[in-house]
Amino acid sequence: MSTDTSPWFTHHVGTPTDRIDGVAKVTGAAKYAAEFPAQDLLYGCVVNSTIAKGWIEALDTAKARAVPGVVEVFTHENRPHIAWFDRSYSDQDAPPGSPFRALRDGEIRYSGQPIALVVAQDFETARYAASLVEARYSQGEHATDLVQQREDAFRPKRKKSGFESPPSRGDADAALAQAAVKHRGEYRIAIEHHNPMEMHAATVIWEGGGKITVHDKTQGVINTHDYVCGVFGFAKDDVRVESPYVGGAFGSGLRPQYQLFLAVLAAKALQRSVRVVLSREQMFTFGYRPDALQTIELGAQREGTLTAIKHDCVQNTSQFENYSETIVNWSGLLYACPNVALDHRLAALDLYTPIDMRAPGAATGVNAFEAAIDELAYELQLDPLEFRLKNYAEIDQNEDKPFSSKALRECYEQGAAAFGWSQRSFAPRSMRDGRELVGWGMASGVWEAMRTKAQARVTLSSEGRLEVATASADIGTGTYTILAQIAAEAFGLPLDAVTVKIGDSSLPQAPLEGGSRTATTVGSAVQAACEALKKIVLDQARSIGNSPLGKPRASSVTFERGDVVLNRDARKRLPLRDIVLSSGKPTLAAQASAAPSRTANRWASYTHSAVFVEVKVDEELGQVRVTRIVSAIAAGRILNPKTARSQIIGGVVFGLGMALTEESQLDHRLGRFMNHNYAEYHIPVNADVPQIHVIFVDEKDEHISPLGAKGLGEIGIVGTAAAISNAVFHATGRRVRELPITLDKLL
């Protein structure tokens, strides 16, 4: 909270501020997708396939139908008619290909595929009846091992797939051949699943007359709305999607998941309200961070100048969509190097399509590349930080553009000072604390600073209260709060005089909340709407007879403490509520759109970080403890340092999990993820998380948006796993190139 206790404190932007939705969340007043009530609500339970490839020869649903309370069992044999063409199933985040359709036919495309939906009067009955559905399969030969399919990897044709080849420059092969010092390594990071606290759910309320209200766990209500209309043929005005709160998503809510499809299908067929909630086990039956086999080759002069970079990646996708991440592109961006060759291919496996997961592409590619950079620094006998500074990139060499702002050098300096990097000894295994080896490692991080188009509406009431409305989402990042801060400051109001409405498809349109773009994208739209409304308020104030303001220009007044105040004489002021009342209307409102400027593409915009880590490794047992982390962040103007710090801490913990614990384990004989629960999929817990010191480096960016802010959701994870693995090397002298670093890899 601000240290100013005055109720009229109005300098909100840039001030540490509690979440305005915090009380609703901790008291249970906030409702999530599976918590909205409905009269005569039915419950659906999904039945999933037990094989990875083949056909359903027979589905026996008789036992399930015989259970008292069961209303219907939907399968591919009795499902209602749905849209035929692939385009009807596409969405704002869909990759090229043919989107998955639950209950489309009897073909099994991956293990865990939904094959039936049991609908009953209560959840317990639906779950029990679902266990009685029996399937007989004709099983095919599946392929889920990326290593075995590596030779079949392909580069999709760009015109057909939208696949964008990564940029290359110079002659990397020739430069490598001539390099005085070379490094080559193969890197791999385990498949990860998102595992947010709130499981995916959809509550579809049948309103009658062919209208529905959908409560879905989603990162974009507009995306859900358009998907439902496209698949099921609803008129746009007959569907309303609401998602005011999301219990974490991390990318899993960017695309409509199959619980939404099944809930809407059942509700429309039965003309009843239906709820479908996925179990924790079923959370492992859709998208995930993809598998990737990476080969990195580096060349440098003896004094430490990089001369060549080669980064090759083979990444898995599904058999029905070509999902691709920008895994290798970052290697041509981070450091100055004249010769760069980047190659990215896909291998189709009998798994569901991967989906964006916090910092998609960068979390995979940068972590491997930063580990390779650390290895080359040691081969050159250079301090890892010194090596990075020596090869610092002043422009984006991938696109030959200047950066809109780049304070990575300051991140290095401030992060190193806070961590005490100068006290580090160079040699591996040279620092210890009793029976534990001590390691200090560091890495760079980078993420694209994105901004797209959005709309917002701002309404001022005759009570002097302000309402902000936009269809954006809050997936736990603090969107409610920063939008309220922007609007409150614009009108000189206390924060509690502002109400924010989001997560409703009937509100002004906003894009998916993903890619760390919401603060700049939606925040700029709110700011634009506020400026438009201030103009309306001033026009109305000028129409008031004998007004103490006279006929003021916008530049001659200030909005403060609920009044419009004349700059040259603060005694002359007019309350906002009086201005609204003078209009004869209960409210004054303005709606505005905001989009990047026409000159935005002249600049390369990124957030940057420098991550410093201390680990302690039990010399006999190989147990790794992360004991300190310093993350220095350059992300433009920080709108709310309190929620911003939380975002970075969350990202850092993600990186810690990637480095040490998280691993979705496939049994290739079954083609199935086996550790599909919290007991065996190991997420970092409180005891695993050390002191995390977050530094926000001052960075001014006049190009990214009028707010000068960049996103923060992703940058916290990028580079963190590499810094940890580099610290483990410094402690033990052993390089682990396949994450997570588990006991067996160190003993």
- Cα 396 from Cα 364, distance rounded (Å): 20
3-class secondary-structure state, position 25:
helix
| Position 163 confidence tier, pLDDT thresholds 50, 70, 90 | low
Domain presence at residue 412: yes
- Cα 135 from Cα 6, distance rounded (Å): 66
Residue given tokens 């869909």 in the structure block: 94
Annotated active-site residue in 297, 614, 662, 714: 714
- Residues 518 and 645 grouped into a single domain: no
Predicted pLDDT at 1? 42
- Residues 678 and 555 grouped into a single domain: no
- Per the CB < 8 A criterion, the answer to whether 458 and 577 are in contact is no
- Cα 176 from Cα 452, distance rounded (Å): 39
Which tens digit of pLDDT belongs to each residue from 633-642? Answer: 999 999 999 9
Which tens digit of pLDDT belongs to each residue from 277-295? Answer: 999 999 999 999 999 999 9
Domain presence at residue 661: yes
Identify which of 267, 290, 215 has the alpha carbon closest to the alpha carbon of residue 505.
Answer: 215
- Cα 46 from Cα 126, distance rounded (Å): 9
- Residues 581 and 633 grouped into a single domain: no
pLDDT higher than 90, residue 162: no
Output the DSSP codes for 370-408. Answer: HHHHHHHHHHTT--HHHHHHHTB-SEETTTTEEBS---H
- Residues 708 and 645 grouped into a single domain: yes
Which tens digit of pLDDT belongs to each residue from 354-375? Answer: 999 999 999 999 999 999 999 9
- Residues 519 and 586 grouped into a single domain: yes
Output the DSSP codes for 56-98. Answer: EEEEE-HHHHTSTTEEEEE-TTTPPP---SGGGG--TTPPSB-
pLDDT higher than 90, residue 7: no
Which tens digit of pLDDT belongs to each residue from 78-119? Answer: 999 999 999 999 999 999 999 999 999 999 999 999 999 999
- Residues 588 and 633 grouped into a single domain: no
Q: Which two tokens stand for residue 654?
A: 């993600």
**Amino acid letter, 80:** P
Chosen domain end from 574, 595, 616: 595
Domain presence at residue 508: yes
pLDDT higher than 50, residue 39: yes
Predicted pLDDT at 156? 82
Predicted pLDDT at 159? 54
The rounded Cα 463 to chain-centroid distance in angstroms is 38
- Residues 422 and 483 grouped into a single domain: no
| Position 4 confidence tier, pLDDT thresholds 50, 70, 90 | very low
pLDDT higher than 80, residue 8: no
> Is 714 in the active site?
yes
pLDDT higher than 50, residue 531: yes
Which tens digit of pLDDT belongs to each residue from 490-521? Answer: 999 999 999 999 999 999 999 999 999 999 99
Domain presence at residue 373: no
Domain presence at residue 445: yes
- Residues 543 and 610 grouped into a single domain: no
| Position 161 confidence tier, pLDDT thresholds 50, 70, 90 | low
Q: Name the domain count of the chain.
A: 2
pLDDT higher than 50, residue 2: no
- Residues 620 and 720 grouped into a single domain: yes
pLDDT higher than 80, residue 160: no
Burial call 473-509: b when 16+ CB within 10 Å, e when fewer: bbbbbbbbbbbbbbbbbbbbbebebbbbbbbbbebbb
pLDDT higher than 70, residue 378: yes
- Residues 583 and 613 grouped into a single domain: no
At 742, which CATH number? 3.30.365.10
The domain in which residue 539 lies consists of 22-28+452-595
Which tens digit of pLDDT belongs to each residue from 463-498? Answer: 999 999 999 999 999 999 999 999 999 999 999 999
- Cα 276 from Cα 43, distance rounded (Å): 6
3-class secondary-structure state, position 365:
helix
Which tens digit of pLDDT belongs to each residue from 597-629? Answer: 888 899 999 999 999 999 999 999 999 999 999
pLDDT higher than 90, residue 704: yes
Query: What pTM value is reported for the model?
Result: 0.96
CA atoms within 13 A on the CB side of 554: 10
| Position 552 confidence tier, pLDDT thresholds 50, 70, 90 | confident
- Phi, psi dihedral angles at 456 (to 5 degrees): -150, 155
Which tens digit of pLDDT belongs to each residue from 183-237? Answer: 999 999 999 999 999 999 999 999 989 999 999 999 999 999 999 999 999 999 9
Chosen domain end from 595, 621, 648: 595
- Cα 362 from Cα 409, distance rounded (Å): 20
CA distances 668 to 143, 345, 351, Å, are 8, 21, 11
- Residues 432 and 489 grouped into a single domain: no
Chosen domain end from 562, 595, 628: 595
> Which DSSP letter does residue 199 get?
P
- Per the CB < 8 A criterion, the answer to whether 717 and 654 are in contact is yes
- Residues 441 and 456 grouped into a single domain: no
Which tens digit of pLDDT belongs to each residue from 396-430? Answer: 999 999 999 999 999 999 999 999 999 999 999 99
* Mean per-residue pLDDT over the chain, rounded: 96
Mean pLDDT of 725-746: 97
- Per the CB < 8 A criterion, the answer to whether 492 and 460 are in contact is no
Mean pLDDT of 544-564: 90
Predicted pLDDT at 10? 62
Domain presence at residue 340: no
Domain presence at residue 687: yes
Domain presence at residue 615: yes
Mean pLDDT of 532-550: 93
pLDDT higher than 70, residue 541: yes
Predicted pLDDT at 545? 87
